Amino acid sequence: MARNIDLNPVSAVTTGAVGQPGQRVFYLQARRGPTTITIETEKEQVRALALGIHQFLEELTQRFPDRTDLDDVDQRDLVLQPPFEPEFKVGQMGLGYDSDQDLVVIVAQALQAEDQAEDEGVTARFWISRGQAKAMADNALDIVSKGRPTCALCGRPINPDGHFCPKRNGHTKDLIVQ
């Protein structure tokens, strides 16, 4: 049987990473009162969510020009809170909008095992203000940017000890980008 987790509205929402670049684990976390829901994500899911939120907020501003005020978000609300025991690992995420409450809705569905039926999955929905959405997206892009540098040729991350770049085809050991 499917399980739904709903926090409507949240008091805080954030993304964050735990660990060293190259070994980090990314999380999406929402809080409401004593309830904290933490879900594990991939770095690229965090980046896509942040970029999607920015685009979505622009569309909402065009659709609802009278709703442009963004509430302030306390920077402490953008810090992950332990424990980091995820409810599930995200398979896919989406965004929605509740115009009656003027809240953005983040929908995250669990990654499903091959032998798991579709109706056995977990879905989390977090209703957040547009101010919370913007602050979370800005914070997420900042966190993602603090990872390993990427190779200018292949786009893959460069580890401290270097990396194999298929675009160099075995030539030039050191790539210097200025």
- Using one digit for the tens of pLDDT, what is the confidence trace for 99-152? 999 999 999 999 987 666 666 789 999 999 999 999 999 999 999 988 877 787
Which sequence spans correspond to the domains of the chain? 3-147, 149-178
| Measured distance CA(125)–CA(105) in Å, rounded | 6
pLDDT of residue 178: 46
Domain 3-147 matching CATH 3.30.1380: the answer reads: no
Of 95, 107, 97, 110, which is closest to residue 41 (Cα–Cα)? 110
Q: Is the pLDDT of residue 90 over 70?
A: yes
Q: Do the Cβ atoms of 4 and 107 come closer than 8 Å?
A: no
Tell me what pLDDT residue 174 has: 55
Q: Taking all residues of the chain, what is their mean pLDDT, rounded to a whole number? A: 88
85 pLDDT higher than 70? yes
Q: Residue 164: how many CA atoms within 13 Å on its side-chain side? A: 3
Question: Which residue carries 């209703």 as its tokens?
Answer: 127
Q: Read off the pLDDT of each residue in 156-172 and give the average, rounded to a whole number.
A: 71
Strand partners, 26: 17, 41
With 70 as the cut, is the pLDDT of residue 33 above it?
yes
Question: What is the mean predicted confidence (pLDDT) over 85-90?
Answer: 95
pLDDT computed for residue 89 by the predictor:
96
